[in-house]
Amino acid sequence: MPLGERSGDDKNDSRYCGVETDFNDDMPHLLSFNLHGGFDFVVAPLMDPTYRPSLLENGSNGAGVLPFAGSDLVLSPAQWSGHVVGKISSWIDLDSEDEMVRKDSEIALKQEISWASHLSLQACILPTPKGSSCANYARCVNQILQNLTSMQLWLRIPLEKSDDDSGNENPDHKIDSWDLWNSFRLLCEHHSQLSVALDVLCSLPSANSLGRWFGESVRAAMISTNSFLTNARGYPCLSKRHQKLIVGFFNHSIQMVICGEQVHSLCPGNPDSRANNTDNHNEGVHLHPLRSYLDYVAYLYQRMDPLPEQERFEFGYRDYLQSPLQPLMDNLEAQTYETFEKDTVKYIQYQRAISKALLERVPDEEATTNTTVLMVVGAGRGPLVRAALQAAEETGRKLRVYAVEKNPNAIVTLHSLVKLECWEEVVTIVACDMRCWNAPEKADILVSELLGSFGDNELSPECLDGAQRFLKPDGISIPSSYTSFIQPITASKLYNDVKSHKDLLHFETAYVVKLHRVARLAPSQPVFTFAHPEYSTKRNDRYKKLHFEIPCDTGSAMIHGFAGYFDAILYKDVHLGIEPSTATPNMFSWFPIFFPLRTPVCVQPGVPLIVHLWRCCGSTKVWYEWCVSSPVSSPVHNTNGRSYWVGL
């Protein structure tokens, strides 16, 4: 049975926990015993561990039957697929100096994976490479991957890294198992069906080093019984650092697998435990010997906070690449408007900003005589109009509102709203592109919601430059400024999703995405800032060179691209944004933007990452170009906006 259901829709794969087993000819009994013991699946060897191809050939003239754990008929297809993860023989060493071992390993690997594929297993765990060199092992796995249909291969990697302050003066003996994984996956060309099964050991590396793995394709965490401590009652528990790591795995849909022998004396099934725990006196002998470890993992899962309503709403968008909106070229649909209009937090912030502007612009003594002219440019279906009128009511100020909108379909809704709310005396609807409208009077306040995930990526600067001609010289723009930010990330899933298109265009497109299975490797840095109104002759093209330092205790890391955010000052101290360190809580109108790299860049400890980003402006379009110049030089992406641009 699963570890436990949290409130709300629990769609997390990590609610399932498996157990590693030894080879057993009787697969039905093996599976039944462990499923009845509370586990959801078994990680089981498929081949007798004593088997060697060369021995079979010598003893049977090549006609022997392979010693697999029973035929495919001993379990139903659903049982094989849903409850068994294959474990490839651990003796296999494809980079051995011994030619016989190497040849036996290659034959056995292909035989076992072929059998697992025949059984329709969802995954097989590959043994950890035996040494630092794994070229032949990776070559053989890559060959196999080319012909696999849907089965995943999980490479077993120990979670270890010796930190620089460990006192080890010999750099040749410093261990970073991430380097082993990185070497293997590079040799396999970042294949999307190659993932990681992490062996969680007694000691853990630094938090920054651990953080890298959340952006990698980790499918399972193999936690040994030796990693568990003993609580005051003699039962297994985990250290605080281990607990935090396991919860992080849960949050990233990484499944647990309990490995090893029972090592705690008070576990159910142990004779000592029956003598010391009367509750289990009659039933303890029937319980799985590793049940207490499973119960502890389930306890960690069940005590996690349920997903907030916003996260449940966004669950289906996690790591899903979306093309950014083209608000000037395309008219938004009703469903898109409705989604944005549900973001009450955003409109509360706008209402606060408008209220502050009204109070500062109109003194109390003029509140009943001074009418403020407020123009909403890009009014959509009217949420900013409503926010402005509510701000006027809240502050006791008088307003005259112009709602300017180019979408003829939204204009229909605006007219209905004005009639429904009896705003005819206050609100004038203007069916026009803000850049082409000749306003009958100057505005005191200009309000817009033209911001994209990267701030300026939906052409807010160009739109407001065209609209500010009807703003009074001392007029106020809301927002008054906004800044874009980027940070380097490990995002194996996003990279593989882009790579699956097998073309240049998708690698040179910036995507809107709800980032989830990513590792943020350094704090974000500001890129481009725009302020409004802008009366200088400054152009809207921009260039920024950024230096990022990955913390040394992180170790080496793979950069798959850059996450982009924005932070906007609406008015004075009222802001909204999605930059992680200052993000407006519970706001969901914007997901981050993702700038992919055609070739991921590996950054070594202490080596700076230098990134270049350009905002380019043409007569009919605006686009971004980006590249890396250190530690290696990448091509400039999206030259001349050949793949991705925003139309004016």
- Quick one: pLDDT at residue 199? 97
Most confident of 2-11, 235-244, 328-337: 235-244
Kindly state the DSSP code that residue 637 receives in the 8-state scheme.
B
Burial class from Cβ neighbours inside 10 Å (0-12, 13-18, 19+) for residue 65 reads exposed
Quick: pLDDT tens for 244-299.
999 999 999 999 999 999 988 765 545 444 334 434 434 444 589 999 999 999 99
- Quick one: pLDDT at residue 1? 56
Q: What is the mean pLDDT of residues 558-579?
A: 98
Beta carbons of 471 and 441 less than 8 angstroms apart: no
CA distance 490 to 559: 5
The C-alpha torsion from 334 through 338 and 340 to 346, rounded to 10°, is 140
- Residues with Cβ within 8 Å of residue 538, at least 6 apart in sequence: none
Beta carbons of 201 and 227 less than 8 angstroms apart: yes
Annotated binding site for S-adenosyl-L-methionine: 337, 346-347, 405, 433-434
Encoded amino acid at 14, one letter = S
Kindly state the DSSP code that residue 166 receives in the 8-state scheme.
G
Beta carbons of 368 and 394 less than 8 angstroms apart: no
- Quick one: pLDDT at residue 359? 97
- Quick one: pLDDT at residue 308? 85
CA distance 557 to 45: 32
Quick: pLDDT tens for 542-559.
999 999 999 999 999 999
- Quick one: pLDDT at residue 163? 62
CA distance 196 to 178: 10
Which residues are tagged catalytic? 449, 458
Beta carbons of 637 and 614 less than 8 angstroms apart: no
What are the angstrom distances between the C-alpha of 279 and each of 142, 268, 274, 283, 309?
Answer: 52, 10, 8, 8, 39
Quick: pLDDT tens for 384-414.
999 999 999 999 999 999 999 999 999 999 9
Beta carbons of 478 and 357 less than 8 angstroms apart: yes
**Geometric angle at alpha carbon 330, from 329 and 332, rounded to 5°:** 145
Annotated binding site: 337, 346-347, 405, 433-434
Beta carbons of 564 and 610 less than 8 angstroms apart: no
Encoded amino acid at 66, one letter = L
- Quick one: pLDDT at residue 4? 61
49-58, 274-283, 424-433, 435-444: least confident range: 274-283
Phi, then psi, of 481 in degrees rounded to 5: -165, 160
- Quick one: pLDDT at residue 2? 72
Q: Which residue has the tokens 């706008």?
A: 350
- Quick one: pLDDT at residue 593? 97
β-pairing verdict for 593-603 and 609-617: unpaired
- Quick one: pLDDT at residue 264? 83
Q: What is the mean pLDDT of residues 315-321?
A: 93
Whether the predicted pLDDT of 62 surpasses 70 = no
- Residues with Cβ within 8 Å of residue 165, at least 6 apart in sequence: none
Kindly state the DSSP code that residue 101 receives in the 8-state scheme.
H
Whether the predicted pLDDT of 167 surpasses 50 = no
> How much of the chain exceeds pLDDT 90, in percent?
82
CA distance 630 to 607: 8
Kindly state the DSSP code that residue 517 receives in the 8-state scheme.
S
User: Who wins on pLDDT, 461 or 312?
Assistant: 461
pLDDT band at 538 (very low <50, low <70, confident <90, very high): confident
* Average pLDDT over all residues of the chain: 91
Look at the alpha carbons of 101, 107, 113, 119 in this order and tell me if their dihedral is positive or negative: negative
Domains along the chain with CATH numbers = 13-161+175-307 (3.20.20.150), 334-449 (3.40.50.150), 481-647 (2.70.160.11)
99-108, 267-276, 334-343, 367-376: least confident range: 267-276
CA distance 540 to 272: 75
Write down the pTM of the prediction. 0.91
Quick: pLDDT tens for 17-41.
999 999 999 999 999 999 999 999 9
Q: Which residue has the tokens 């701000």?
A: 391
CA distance 297 to 290: 11
Q: Which helix (H) or strand (E) holds 353?
A: helix 344-361
Whether the predicted pLDDT of 14 surpasses 80 = no
Q: Which residue has the tokens 């905002």?
A: 615
Q: What is the mean pLDDT of residues 221-246?
A: 95
Q: What is the mean pLDDT of residues 512-520?
A: 97
Q: Which helix (H) or strand (E) holds 531?
A: strand 525-531
3-class DSSP string for 417-477: HHHHHCCCCCEEEEECCCCCCCCCCCEEEEEECCCECCECCCCHHHHHHHHHHHEEEEEEE
pLDDT band at 201 (very low <50, low <70, confident <90, very high): very high
